[in-house]
Each structure stands twice: as C-alpha cells, then as structure tokens.
C-alpha cells in the first residue's frame, strides 16, 4: 500500500506494506537483552488459589503478568523526565509520531580507554541534511546485540560535543542501538542526556531519546519516514516500537 504524506512543505510517498522494525522485543528469559545490573524480565501466568491461569494448565485463558524495566530490557523511548525531579510523562509529551529520519552507521572512535561517537563523525554522516530524527547504528553490527548482557561492558557513547551538534541541527528524536547515549559509569554526570534536553536552559520537553534499538544490516543508511510507536505509560520511559518506511522517489 502506497501512502502520500504531507510533511511540512513536501509530499512524500511511503510503502506501508514494507515496514522496517528496529525495535527489540521483551522475552521472559535470560536470552533477553539486559543492562544496569538487574535480572531478566519475567512473563509468567498468574496463580489464583493454587491454580495456574494458563490454557496449557487447564485454564480457559492465558493471563500473564509481565515484570520488566524499560531502561534495561527493551527498546524504549524516554523524555527529560528521566533525569530531572519534575515528572515529564512520555505519554503526555510525545504527541507526534511520524518524523523524517536519517539512518547512519558509525564506527566509534577510540578515546582514552573508551569508544565514543564524536561530533566530527556525525557531521560527516549528516552533512547539511535537515532531519527531525537520527537513527544511529554502531559498527560492528552483530545480531548478538539482541541478547547482549551489557552490564559492566563500558559500551560506546556520545561525546557531549556530538550531542551539542545534533541539537544545533534541530534533531528532536535520537535513536541509538546501545543501552545509553552516555557512558555506563560516569559518576552521574549524564553529559549527553543533559546536553540533548538542554537542562541548563530551556528544556526540550518534546525531544526524546530511544535506546536499545536494533537496525538490521539489511537496512541501508539513508532517509526514511519514522513512525515512533509507544505504549501509553505515564512514566518517564516506555517500551517502544520504532518503524522505518522507505521513501519512494
């Protein structure tokens, strides 16, 4: 199905029959992706009066309770409420869901003992393109990202000047394939998060960060229409399902 979208002053055609899902699901076992030193998510049938509410166990329905943390266990989208005292619910502050996005692949650079994404790399990848959203795939891009146990791995992160560049370029929605845009252990400074949401100035309340995505190698770098789907949680973060659509020239 081909749809025509009026986006700002442009008419864009996208093929709705060819969605490109860049989310990671939640699985109730140890093969689920994980970060931040907590156990795996749980998906288990409820028990009432010693009866397991599962069709397999003789019940008429399946009735599972799911226990998880969005920051640790799945693709998730967050607001500035993640790092400030005030409550900024993702459900209240993300009100638009389609964005012009650029997918870029970046091989993090060495910086002291770390691997980082620099402003120079992002400037090279983006050039003068005007985009609302940026999808960053780190290289090498292995399928084990979908089951990686990230705690104590010191993953690659964004330098503060790289985030400042994205803010100047008007990027409102940043999507990244690792657990955080900041260093795993940084003493609570969260320089990239603070820079992205401009916590020292006028807060960018409508800006979002999405982490723990997975961008298949079959998806080429380039321009897409992004549908940023979220679950309606009144929380700083929610599980999300970002979908890319190719733009038909």
Q: Angle formed by the axes of helices 160-168 and 119-126, to 10°?
A: 30
pLDDT above 90 coverage of the chain, percent: 94
pLDDT tens, residue by residue, 114-127: 999 999 999 999 99
pLDDT at 5: 82
Q: What is the CATH number of the domain that holds 125?
A: 3.50.30.50
Q: 23: burial class by Cβ within 10 Å (0-12, 13-18, 19+)?
A: buried
Residue 76's pLDDT is: 98
153 inside domain = yes
Residue 117, CB-side half-sphere exposure with 13 Å CA sphere: 29
Calpha distance 170→16 (Å, rounded): 27
92 located within any domain: yes
What secondary structure, in 3-state letters, does 134-169 show?
EEEEECCCCHHHHCCECCCCCCCEECHHHHHHHHHC
| 36 located within any domain | no
Domain assignment present for 39: no
Check whether 249 has a pLDDT greater than 80: no
| 60, part of any domain | no
Q: Alpha carbon of 120 to those of 1, 28, 93, 108: distances in Å?
A: 39, 40, 31, 11
Q: Please spell the DSSP secondary structure of 19-56, one letter per residue.
A: -EE------SSTTS-B-TT----EEEE-EETTEE--GG
DSSP one-letter code for 217: T
* Per-residue pLDDT tens over the stretch 205-223: 999 999 999 999 999 999 9
**How high is the pLDDT of residue 1?**
83
pLDDT of residue 161: 98
What pLDDT, in 10s, does the model give residues 28-56? 999 999 999 999 999 999 999 999 999 99
Considering the domain boundaries, does residue 147 fall inside one? yes
Closest CA to 156 of 114, 121, 213: 114
217 closest CA partner among 158, 148, 145, 117? 145
Q: Is residue 90 part of a domain?
A: yes
> Is 123 part of a structural domain of the chain?
yes
Angle at 184 between CA 189 and CA 206, to 5 degrees: 60
Q: Are 41 and 28 in contact (CB under 8 A)?
A: yes
Tens digits of per-residue pLDDT, 141-200? 999 999 999 999 999 999 999 999 999 999 999 999 999 999 999 999 999 999 999 999
* Burial (CB count within 10 angstroms: exposed 0-12, middle 13-18, buried 19+), residue 159: buried
Q: Domain tally for the chain?
A: 1
Question: Is pTM beyond 0.85 here?
Answer: yes
Radius of gyration of the chain (CA): 19
Average model confidence (pLDDT) across the chain: 96
- Tell me the two tokens of residue 143: 């399928």
Asked if 116 and 108 count as a contact pair (C-beta separation under 8 A), the reply is yes
Q: Which domain holds residue 204?
A: 2-25+72-248
Distance in angstroms (rounded) separating the CA atoms of residues 70 and 244: 21
More confident residue, 146 or 10: 146
Q: Write down the pLDDT at residue 2.
A: 87
Q: What is the mean pLDDT of residues 2-14?
A: 85
pLDDT at residue 6 tops 90 = no
Read off the pLDDT of residues 97-113 as tens digits, 9 standing for 90 and up.
999 999 999 999 999 99
């Amino acid at each position: 199905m081909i749809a025509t979208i009026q986006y700002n002053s442009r008419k864009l055609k996208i093929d709705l029959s060819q969605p490109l899902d860049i989310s990671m699901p939640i699985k109730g076992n140890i093969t689920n992706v994980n970060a931040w030193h907590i156990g795996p998510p749980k998906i288990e049938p409820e028990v009432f009066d010693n009866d397991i509410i599962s069709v397999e166990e003789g019940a008429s329905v399946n009735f599972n309770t799911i226990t998880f943390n969005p920051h640790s266990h799945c693709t998730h989208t967050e607001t500035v409420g993640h790092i400030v005292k005030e409550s900024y619910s993702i459900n209240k502050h993300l009100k638009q869901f389609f964005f012009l996005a650029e997918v870029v692949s970046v091989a993090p650079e060495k910086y002291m003992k770390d691997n980082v994404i620099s402003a120079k790399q992002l400037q090279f990848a983006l050039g003068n393109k005007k985009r609302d959203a940026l999808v960053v795939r780190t290289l090498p891009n292995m399928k084990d990202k979908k089951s990686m146990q990230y705690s104590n791995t010191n993953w690659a992160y964004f330098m503060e000047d790289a985030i400042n560049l994205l803010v100047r370029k008007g990027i409102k929605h940043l999507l990244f394939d690792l657990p955080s845009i900041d260093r795993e252990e940084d003493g609570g400074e969260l320089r990239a998060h603070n820079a992205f949401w401009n916590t020292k100035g006028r807060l960018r309340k409508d800006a979002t960060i999405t982490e723990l995505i997975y961008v298949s190698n079959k998806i080429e770098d380039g321009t897409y229409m992004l549908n940023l789907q979220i679950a309606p949680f009144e929380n700083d973060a929610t599980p999300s399902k970002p979908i890319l659509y190719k733009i038909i020239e």
